Structure 1
Amino acid sequence: MRPAGTTERIAHTAASPEGENSTYVLPDRGVVVDPGPPGDASWEVLRSGLSAAGLPVERVETVVVTHWHADHAGLAPRLAAAADATLALHEADAPLVAAYAAERNRRLDRDARRLREWGVPDALVSELRDADEPSPMPHEYPVVTLTDGAAVGGIEVVHAPGHTAGHVVLDAGDALFLGDAVLPTYTPNVGGTDTRLTDALATYLDTLDRIRERAREADAQPVAFPGHGSSVELLDRIDAIRAHHTERVRTAVAELSDRDGDGVTPWAVARSLFGEMRGIHAKMGAGEAAAHLAFAADRGLAERVGVGPDRYVRGDARSFDGVDC
């Protein structure tokens, strides 16, 4: 695999809880990674950034998106159309851009069901749904679907699920484009950011292992480019993220009652962990708690009980030995 060559970063002002978005431009390959959030202001930032990077819009050949979230994919159809370029996402995330309008409705229904399963009150579920504004993206747009190990623009696609079902990391040999798989200061949410995933934390931890092994096996340490911020110390940050999740599993389990209790919902655990939440924060918090409780249940530290909203009690296992994330 030939080196990435020159890589230029275009910074978009904060469009999400993770902070400032990063678009990456590979002029030697005609590739743009994660064009950024939708809207005319972001479009002007992207256009001027591409020109400054030596890859004006009309010379873009390939637009690759690491995952379906609008702060990364929002400008992708607009850029691909303006450049007559290929737009590509992993096959699991591609429909949420290729059939945006239809998939948005399915996503809202799915999110509402999952939030109720987590014990989020109906009023908050309705409030969250009503506040979900549609992005100014085309209802449909042709997307090339990618699979693990495929090449796009001369870059290897590495399936990296957890934050979303179809998240990818892009391996250009001397550079890794991480999307939201590993971020420099913010721990990527798992559980609330894609409710299609049923074992989000375990899936994400497998992804971290895969990224770490890929970095360690490289002839030289690749430069790591995160989807938010400009740089990250990859191996150290992976260790820190894993330690964070280990502690969060312990904290979540500590909120549970013993077997003779009625059980505790993920929403109740989330409120203990994060306080009062509304809007998108309610979704992220409930999903985060649910992901950690499911992980604990798979290891005997918790047990799901009852019907209706998910409820958990303490499991038979009482030792955390061997369950480090």
Structure 2
Amino acid sequence: MGTEQKECRMPKLVTGGLYQLVLPTPFPVGPVNCYISTRSPITLVDTGTKWEPSLQELKSQLAELDLSLERIERLVITHPHADHYGLASQIVSASGAQVFSHPVNESALCPTAQHKQMRDEFCHQLMLESGVPADQVADFMAARVETRPYAEPVCMDCELNEGDTVKLGDAEWNVLHTPGHSGGLICLYQPECRVLLSNDHLLRNISSNAIVEPDHAGGPRPHRLVQYLYHLERIASLHASIAWTGHGGEITDVNATVRKRLRLHERRADHILTLLQEQSLSAYQLSHTIFGTRHGFDTFLALSETICHLDLLLEQSKIFPTYQAGITFWTAAV
């Protein structure tokens, strides 16, 4: 896990009645940005990790705004990753807050034993079919278990769907369903101020991972990068003046940042296609060539990024799969 972030922080004003709270995490990504509306209903957008330094920092920054956990009335969870919802259950216990999120997130926020087993089996099988060595698969599965204490299950009370609005601060914010980094990820947009809460859909200094995951309803595996790129362009069409992100600083050149991300993924797909024009390779072989040796959870993240680009090339009819001894190999069609 990452080192503890000890920098002392204060709430930062986003717009009338809405503040950014920067909370430490135990993960390599570093601090997570959450947002608190100080107007009724008092609403926290994302919660931080179930980790004592994160909880204490949340309490400290709330106190700077004359608030406490007990006064929080609503939680808006943008997506079900531990750094964004880990403290939700503790906050609900303290305050009775209602939990709002996209319906796709429900099974991940409050998973049954069957759902956990299904997700584990999906990851295990995907890695084997991608050619990941068995010892690295085992390392990832162990790392996956190690992250579970950083989030506690929480039940959703209300759905947030595309086109809904949420009152934050002095204004109503539009809900945008933007799958890619996660299937149920939502952004929030205030059209009059042209302010976007982009959370992990668009970050300033790093490119968000499009993460491979099973379909929440049991259908074919979604092509998350294809979705992600579509919704990046959709974000650009808003012409937002600023984006407040899930990690790192705010973005004042939103459309320029979107263009950089689009170019990055285009270049990576072109690089993969060039490699496949030379020889057939598995997703793991490609991942190792592009990202080098990774360990634990990072093995899956690098593999996921690679598979997502293969999905893109497959949809463009530029590659095709072949199968050998249970492993999928990819070959250029052009």
Letter in 2 for 1:178: S
Unaligned segments of structure 1, at least 5 residues: 317-325
Which residue of structure 2 lines up, in the alignment, with residue 206 of structure 1?
230
Deviation at 1:187, TM superposition (A): 0.5
Name the SS of the counterpart of 1:94 in structure 2. Answer: helix
Letter in 1 for 2:290: L
Q: Which moved more, 1:7-16 or 1:29-38?
A: 7-16
1:49–1:100 CA distance, 2 compared to 1 (3 A):
farther
Which residue of structure 2 lines up, in the alignment, with residue 18 of structure 1?
29
Determine if contact 2:89/2:153 at 8 Å carries over to the other structure: no
1:242–1:309 CA distance, 2 compared to 1 (3 A):
same
Determine the C-alpha separation between the residues in 1 that align with 2:33 and 2:91: 15
Deviation at 1:93, TM superposition (A): 1.3
1:17–1:253 CA distance, 2 compared to 1 (3 A):
farther
Q: How does 1:7-86 map to 2 (within 5 A)?
A: 7-29=18-40, 30-86=42-98
Determine the C-alpha separation between the residues in 2 that align with 1:171 and 1:213: 12
Q: What RMSD in Å do the two structures reach over aligned CA positions?
A: 2.1
Determine the C-alpha separation between the residues in 1 that align with 2:91 and 2:190: 22
Name the SS of the counterpart of 2:78 in structure 1. Answer: coil
Determine the C-alpha separation between the residues in 2 that align with 1:189 and 1:45: 27
1:85–1:102 CA distance, 2 compared to 1 (3 A):
farther
Letter in 1 for 2:18: T
Deviation at 1:185, TM superposition (A): 0.6
Which residue of structure 2 lines up, in the alignment, with residue 151 of structure 1?
165
Q: How does 1:82-93 map to 2 (within 5 A)?
A: 82-93=94-105
Work out the percentage of aligned pairs sharing the same amino acid: 23
Unaligned segments of structure 2, at least 5 residues: 1-13, 216-220
Determine if contact 2:85/2:151 at 8 Å carries over to the other structure: no
Which residue of structure 2 lines up, in the alignment, with residue 256 of structure 1?
276
Determine if contact 2:24/2:57 at 8 Å carries over to the other structure: no
Determine the C-alpha separation between the residues in 2 that align with 1:181 and 1:275: 25
Q: How does 1:1-325 map to 2 (within 5 A)?
A: 5-29=16-40, 30-99=42-111, 102-132=114-144, 133=146, 134-139=148-153, 141-153=155-167, 154-173=172-191, 174=193, 175-192=195-212, 194-196=213-215, 197-214=221-238, 216=239, 221-232=240-251, 233-257=253-277, 263-306=280-323, 308-316=326-334
Deviation digits for residues 15-48 of structure 1 (CA, Å, limit 9, x no counterpart): 4343321111121241111111112221111111
Letter in 2 for 1:151: T
1:44–1:247 CA distance, 2 compared to 1 (3 A):
same
Letter in 2 for 1:87: V
Determine the C-alpha separation between the residues in 2 that align with 1:125 and 1:143: 36
Determine if contact 2:269/2:309 at 8 Å carries over to the other structure: yes
1:101–1:54 CA distance, 2 compared to 1 (3 A):
farther
Deviation at 1:112, TM superposition (A): 1.1
1:136–1:208 CA distance, 2 compared to 1 (3 A):
closer
Name the SS of the counterpart of 1:92 in structure 2. Answer: helix
